[in-house]
Structure 1
Amino acid sequence: MCRHGFACSSYESGHALHLIQARIASATPTEWVDAIVEQADAATGGLVVRTLDGAEHSLWNGASAALEAPEGTPVALHARYGVLAVGRTQFNVALV
């Protein structure tokens, strides 16, 4: 459904963010890392973010994460639970 412009009904990695996923990411605040978006491709949903310590992470999101976080945007990544925060908006991301 998400590829056709409707709400995503899947909670697989990179699709809709599940409430429990958001809550367990919030419950482990020390695992969030700050990063900057280096690449964002809205057509494919791909993102590349680099943490402040230099680690690079390639991500995929089927929603609008690449639109909400163009290149140069500061973000926070919770790699353990696959959550990307762009301001107050959170996205379920697949680490690829």
Structure 2
Amino acid sequence: MNTPLTRLSPLEVRERAACMCEFGDVCSSYAPGHALHLIQARMASATPLGWVDAIVDAVDAASGVLQLRTLDGDLHVIWNAGGAALEAAAGTPVALHDAYGVLAIGGAQYNVVQYNVVQYNVAR
């Protein structure tokens, strides 16, 4: 006689999962703003017209939030848990791939999530 396997529903699994970056370790999640997935990096590199040049306007290293200003003057407020805010000081040139949520700082790429600038209180 076989005992039936108990399976967790996807909802239960998602509720129990926690990213290790919350505990000061390397990101274990590919959610927006966490670890950069290989497919995400490949899609961004395969679509070169999606990249936008920008300059870091302001950085809050404690929270991981960066404010970027494109060369057209558009403001983008992004967040990354993997240390992008530690790598880019104000005035640093960067590239942002809007469609795939990738930020390039020099040769390093980061998975980022963008805030709605209207909802995010940008102090200038």
Task: Tell me the TM-score normalised to structure 2 length.
Answer: 0.76
Instruction: Give the % identical residues.
Output: 65
2:109 aligned with 1:90: yes
Higher relative contact order (CA 8 A, sep 6+): 1
**2:73 aligned counterpart, secondary structure:** coil
2:27 aligned with 1:8: yes
What per-residue deviation string (whole Å, max 9, x for no partner) do you get for residues 12-71 of structure 1?
000000000000000000110100000111100000000001111000001100010111
Gapped regions of structure 2 (runs ≥ 5) = 1-19, 116-124
The number of equivalent residue pairs is 96
RMSD, aligned CA: 0.6
2:69 aligned with 1:17: no
Structure number with higher strand proportion: 1
Gapped regions of structure 1 (runs ≥ 5) = none
Which of these two proteins has the greater Rg computed from alpha carbons? 2
In structure 2, what is the equivalent of residue 29 of structure 1?
48
* Segments ≥4 residues shifted beyond 3 Å: none
